[in-house]
A = this chain, B = another copy of it.
Amino acid sequence: MATGRTHRPATRSRGIPEATVARLPLYLRALTALSERSVPTVSSEELAAAAGVNSAKLRKDFSYLGSYGTRGVGYDVEYLVYQISRELGLTQDWPVVIVGIGNLGAALANYGGFASRGFRVAALIDADPGMAGKPVAGIPVQHTDELEKIIQDDGVSIGVIATPAGAAQQVCDRLVAAGVTSILNFAPTVLNVPEGVDVRKVDLSIELQILAFHEQRKAGEEAAADAVAPPAVARKQPHVGPSADSTGSADKGPDGDVPAVMPA
């Protein structure tokens, strides 16, 4: 996925694989739950099960962080929580702005897990003047005109876009111009960003389409199994699958304008 390319300084190890980074939050969540239950140590097997991965993968992942376990014993829960939090940058405070306070934006603003891990909703921003001042999740909505000021005053580096697709690129441009360097995009559009800016996208419609693909394949397989051969073999393995990927810029063509409001 992504990008990359960056030269790669070759030697010197501090390069944690992207796939590993994407799993750290999962481990952290499982560890936090254990911590709340005052469990002092955990084996790779147990923790892996709680996080929904296999234990070899988990151990390999931790080995990139430096390997904080004890052979014959397992991992110290509190210590691991700390190390992973630090690695993810969660020991510091990340002010976040949410732009587009419709149904989704409001849901995000109300989302608890948000504040819980180092993220703080610094502002809610919407283009509708009628929204201005209205509190959502206890935070008054501010008008888009204030966007640049808010970002600069609060030192916001992470922005969440929850606007209709048609407005997303424009909002993105303003966020970036004002200093935001990481964007979480919920609008169903490819965003164009300059290098150095990270974009991750969350797209309901894409997730459903992927599910539909597999769903269809299941149906086909059944039919095939019925009609063709007698495969007494197991069909699937346990695993729960992760998801989400990312994406980023690209060009946008001549006009770049996206159809209407919320296309597929």
Contacts and interface: CB of A to CB of B under 8 A. Distances in A.
A250 interface: yes
A201 B119 CA distance: 21
Nearest to A159: B211
Interface residues on A, range: 35 or more
Given A2-B243, A202-B243, A76 B261 contact: yes
Interface stretch (A10-18, A122-130, A138-146): A10-18
Contacts of A24: 209, 213
A207 interface: yes
* Residue among A236, A240, A243 with max Cβ neighbours from chain B (10 Å): A243
A181 interface: yes
A251 B240 CA distance: 7
Contact of A243 (B3, B70, B243): B3
Contacts of A151: none
A195 B251 contact: no
Contacts of A102: 107
A244 B18 contact: yes
B264 A32 contact: yes
